[in-house]
Amino acid sequence: MTETTQQRTPDSRPTGGLSAQYQPGEVEQRRYEQWVTEGYFTADPASDKPAFSIVIPPPNVTGSLHVGHALDHTIQDTLSRLKRMQGFEVLWLPGMDHAGIATQNVVERQLAAQQLSRHDLGREEFVQKVWEWKAESGGKILGQMRRLGDSVDWSRERFTMDEGLSRAVQTIFKRLYDDELIYRANRIINWCPRCLTALSDIEVEHTDDEGELVSIRYGDGPDAIVVATTRAETMLGDTAVAVHPDDERYKHLIGTEVELPLTGRRIPIVADEHVDPSFGTGAVKVTPAHDPNDFEIGQRHNLPSITMMDERAVVTVHGPFEGLDRYEARPAIVAALREEGRIVAEKRPYVHSVGHCSRCKTTVEPRLSLQWFVNTGPLAKKAGDAVRDGRVTIEPAELSKRYFAWVDNMHDWCISRQLWWGHRIPVWYGPDGEVVCVGPDEEAPAGYTQDEDVLDTWFSSALWPFSTMGWPQQTAELEKFYPTSVLVTGYDILFFWVARMMMFGLYAMDDVQPFNVVNLHGMVRDGQGKKMSKSFGNVVDPLDWIERYGADATRFTLARGANPGSDVPISEEWCQGSRNFCNKLWNATRFALMNGATVEGPLPAQDELSAIDKWILSRLQHVIGEVDEYFATYEYAKVCDTLYHFAWDDVCDWYLELSKPVLASDDAAPSRRVLGHVLDQLLRLLHPVIPFVTEELWIALTGGETIVKAQWPAADKELIDDAAEEELAALQKVVTEVRRFRSDQGLKPSQRVAAALTGLGNVGIDTHESLIRSLARLDPPADGFTATATLAVSGAITVDLDTRGTIDVAAERARLEKDRAAAEKEAAQCRGKLGNESFIGKAPEQVVAKIKDRLVTAEADLTRIAAALEALPSA
């Protein structure tokens, strides 16, 4: 034995300063502050390294780190850390969005607690209050990003309302206005009667709500026509009834007029191909000022638009319903129609999709309003062309169809908001109706008044990839890092944000796209695949997981579920498993240090290595190649799964166990070097996903400065050894089969069994017999040995075991028979469901898939139990 092995007990061996157990709370903040202080994340535009850049999807200044952020940031950080190790100059640029409506609501609630409104303060003082709130309470998410481990360049943090970005907003507005790509018009928009502003589509959440469907007869006699509506109150603004031109039921009425009930007004019956004759009665009421489809019909037929509600959704039409809120007017109007005998049918409850303000949950009102719009036609065409011609790649590719469906059919974008917090529209009005758009280096003429509205938050965030790098100035950052390399975001904002960045980036940057790749991930769901919702009680707070299990465990759980474009299932049980994985790495590294693992110098020559060492080095090369391939296709789940099984199964469960006898011998030096090399490379491979524990372990193992700057592993084909892999696969199969038999027979892990091994030389593993016996707890045959059970392994190897005195045969047979009955029942139930055509036709696809998986498991159990029963010795 070596001097080290002779004189040191396991507890006194060197562990590189590693504690007995991994405590994330003692590591994470300390390591993160060191990374930032040392400037490891600061990008250098003067570097001659190839550039890699990502701009963070800016979280709201009001926001807190939720599980969607945690997934998005984990992926971005993984790519950023990977590229640093691969030798790129990496810029991951952080920042926040001013979140117009959300932030204004926060400050208005504070004022309301003091019995004040923003109007009591006035615009200037209110905006100052918002800035004060931002300085004192906003941006908590930035600190939470640090807890997750985000390797962003904090020296370049941006805010959509800071001076530079505000200049960029004013510059592009002026250019678009001068190119006649921005205009002001009366159009139907989403309106929040509580926030009193227009909303973008993404600020509207649709839910299935219970309402009523009322069928109303307009007119009398043979010329009467019936329409159905969920919003009876809007009939006060009807200016026509529309039918399909080919609908035989109504051809004789087209061009005639009918009296609108309760009003005395007569309205035309028009023919429009937009009407679906198979829906309802085939006739629809047309309210151009309160429905986007009706507005289009009104435009085609030159119909008047009657606004029958004000901005607070109160009826303004003169008559008995004037002054009623929309929800008061609806039953009142239905009652009046019923009294006149106009109600033909009523359906309650009637479930239909209803839009709600994402901030205050008020039901959104479609409303005809004078607003500012972007003419998206020419901009959207270029955004579509950039993907079609390959300048921009969407991953996964199948989501390109969804992208084209949006950009090829994009409506003009309403960009004005009736708020005080935001970028004020740089248009001024003269005393005689003059209109002038003012650029960043211009001043409005004396006596002119600025437009009261501010711009949609998405307008400024659409500039994010280039405004954050100094545009409209030609900066070193733009020269080096634009276009950005990858945009990582959820598929849910492919249209709302991605398409808009594409439009503005191509417009402002002379047809240069804002990013080369759009990497889309799915939504985070619970372990059963259900959408996370407070009402379901299944919402995960990533900060809670970080506190209890560590940032690495939280990140690994998210990344291990992240397949391209697919939703990401997670559960607390999986996070606990990820924590156990980190602990496994910790214990493996401590074991390696205690057993003299080394990292200095080249690997030993092949003829100095054992088959076990050759095998693990060969497996490592395969894993490096697989991980590189999966990263290239953004398959983070496969990266994690590959590294998890290599670390847990190959390294910890097999290599460390197989190496223990060698590490305690006089010939340990080659294996110690191999062990150090494998762990060094494994920690590097894992670092992008789990940065904290790998940093702590790598420094302890290697004595290096930081793993952040360590070189990414490269596969060495010279180390791939098929023969060693075949040899170890045969060894593992023998041990696995014996262990399975022992488990099936209920033997304790510590219980030793006498066994005779024959045929090991047939597959070249006879030199490993002592290892096999050690790992499988098998003693050599002694006097009186009698084989009571025989295992055939691959047909070439036989294991005869003497199980007398180790197994209660009767009890074991009874247990197995009970298990077999349960497995047969499970299999029968699954076959019954899968054979039921009615069930298959109605059940969700994922439910059917689960039942198929259950059947496969049950059938495998039956096969295993039958083999175990057959292997039992006779009583």
pLDDT at 336: 96
Q: DSSP string spanning 534-570?
A: TTTT----HHHHHHHH-HHHHHHHHHHT--TTS-EE-
The reply to whether 318 falls in a domain is yes
**HSE-CB of 550 using CA atoms within 13 angstroms:** 24
pLDDT at 56: 96
Q: Are 504 and 497 in contact (CB under 8 A)?
A: no
Q: What is the pLDDT of residues 488-535, one digit of tens each?
A: 999 888 887 899 999 999 999 999 999 999 999 988 887 777 777 766
pLDDT at 6: 34
Cα angle, residue 358 at apex, residues 381 and 140 outer, rounded to 5°: 100
What percent of the chain has pLDDT above 70? 97
- Say if residue 773 is in the same domain as residue 716: no
Mean pLDDT score, 105-126: 95
Give the count of domains, the chain.
3
Q: DSSP string spanning 173-209?
A: HHHHHHTT-EEEEEEEEEEETTTTEEE-GGGEEEEEE
Q: Are 419 and 197 in contact (CB under 8 A)?
A: yes
Does pLDDT of 3 surpass 50?
no
Mean pLDDT score, 806-826: 82
d(CA 123, CA 125): 6
d(CA 684, CA 534): 38
Q: pTM of the predicted model, to two decimals?
A: 0.86
Strands 797-802 vs 789-793: parallel, antiparallel or unpaired: antiparallel
Q: Which residues of 455-485 are buried (b: 16+ CB within 10 A; e: fewer)?
A: bbbbbbbbbbbbbbbbbbeebebbebbbbbb
Does pLDDT of 868 surpass 50?
yes
CATH of the domain at 582: 1.10.730.10
In the block, which residue shows the tokens 């016996």? 773
Q: What is the pLDDT of residues 423-478, one digit of tens each?
A: 999 999 999 999 999 999 999 999 999 999 999 999 999 999 999 999 999 999 99
- Say if residue 548 is in the same domain as residue 582: yes
Which of helix, strand or coil describes residue 126? helix
- Say if residue 565 is in the same domain as residue 661: yes
pLDDT at 524: 86
Q: DSSP string spanning 570-606?
A: --HHHHHHHHHHHHHHHHHHHHHHHTT---SSPPPPG
Look at 38-42, 270-274, 618-622, 789-793 and tell me which has the smallest mean pLDDT. 789-793
Max intra-chain CA distance, the chain: 116
Mean pLDDT score, 249-274: 95
The reply to whether 556 falls in a domain is yes
pLDDT at 228: 92
- Say if residue 759 is in the same domain as residue 797: yes
Token pair for residue 649? Answer: 């199964």
d(CA 524, CA 529): 9
Give the pLDDT band (50/70/90) at residue 9: very low
Backbone Cα Rg of the chain: 35
Q: DSSP string spanning 615-651?
A: HHHHHHHHHHHHHHHHHHTT-HHHHHHHHHHIIIIII
Show the domain range for 263: 197-366
> Which residues lie below 8 Å from residue 825, measured CB to CB, with a gap of 6+?
none
Distance of CA 628 to CAs 82, 108, 566, 636, 715, Å? Answer: 10, 51, 21, 11, 9
Token pair for residue 155? Answer: 């020296």
> Which residues lie below 8 Å from residue 222, measured CB to CB, with a gap of 6+?
none
CATH of the domain at 225: 3.90.740.10
The reply to whether 816 falls in a domain is yes
Does pLDDT of 5 surpass 70?
no
3 state SS for 134-173: HHHCCCHHHHHHHHHCCCCCHHHCEECCCHHHHHHHHHHH
d(CA 851, CA 846): 9
Boundary-marking domain end, from 348, 366, 384: 366
Distance of CA 347 to CAs 215, 230, 329, 339, Å? Answer: 9, 10, 18, 18
- Say if residue 740 is in the same domain as residue 831: yes
The response to whether 531 counts as a known ligand-binding position is no
Look at 84-88, 300-304, 826-830 and tell me which has the smallest mean pLDDT. 826-830
Token pair for residue 527? Answer: 């372990």
> Which residues lie below 8 Å from residue 735, measured CB to CB, with a gap of 6+?
772, 775, 776
Q: Cis bond leading into 349, ω under 30°?
A: yes
Does pLDDT of 4 surpass 70?
no
H or E element: which one contains 228?
A: strand 225-229
- Say if residue 793 is in the same domain as residue 652: no
Q: Are 238 and 287 in contact (CB under 8 A)?
A: yes
> Which residues lie below 8 Å from residue 234, measured CB to CB, with a gap of 6+?
285, 287, 290, 291, 308
Give the pLDDT band (50/70/90) at residue 222: confident
pLDDT at 874: 67
Mean pLDDT score, 766-783: 94
- Say if residue 745 is in the same domain as residue 607: no
**Which among 562, 564, 557 has a CA at the least distance from the CA of 582?**
557
- Say if residue 782 is in the same domain as residue 835: yes
- Say if residue 694 is in the same domain as residue 787: no
- Say if residue 564 is in the same domain as residue 700: yes
Sign of CA dihedral 641, 642, 643, 649: positive
The reply to whether 455 falls in a domain is no
Distance of CA 266 to CAs 233, 257, 272, 330, Å? Answer: 17, 6, 19, 21
| Amino acid identity at 773 | R
Q: What is the pLDDT of residues 587-637, one digit of tens each?
A: 999 999 999 999 999 999 999 999 999 999 999 999 999 999 999 999 999
Boundary-marking domain end, from 664, 698, 720: 720
The reply to whether 177 falls in a domain is no
Does pLDDT of 14 surpass 90?
no
The reply to whether 296 falls in a domain is yes
pLDDT at 527: 77
- Say if residue 709 is in the same domain as residue 647: yes
Give the pLDDT band (50/70/90) at residue 787: confident
Look at 637-646, 723-732, 783-792 and tell me which has the smallest mean pLDDT. 783-792
Strands 413-414 vs 427-429: parallel, antiparallel or unpaired: unpaired
pLDDT at 1: 30
Token pair for residue 736? Answer: 């696995």
H or E element: which one contains 437?
A: strand 435-437
- Say if residue 658 is in the same domain as residue 754: no
Does pLDDT of 180 surpass 70?
yes
The reply to whether 277 falls in a domain is yes
**Which among 145, 77, 202, 172 has a CA at the least distance from the CA of 486?**
77
In the predicted model, what is the mean pLDDT of the chain?
Answer: 92
pLDDT at 333: 96
Q: What is the pLDDT of residues 15-35, one digit of tens each?
A: 778 999 999 999 999 999 999
Q: Are 788 and 803 in contact (CB under 8 A)?
A: yes
Boundary-marking domain end, from 341, 366, 391: 366
The reply to whether 404 falls in a domain is no
Token pair for residue 50? Answer: 């190839």
d(CA 574, CA 640): 13
pLDDT at 715: 97
Q: What is the pLDDT of residues 528-573, one digit of tens each?
A: 777 777 667 778 899 999 999 999 999 999 999 888 888 888 899 9
pLDDT at 8: 39
What φ, ψ does residue 180 adopt, rounded to 5°? 60, 35
d(CA 111, CA 109): 5
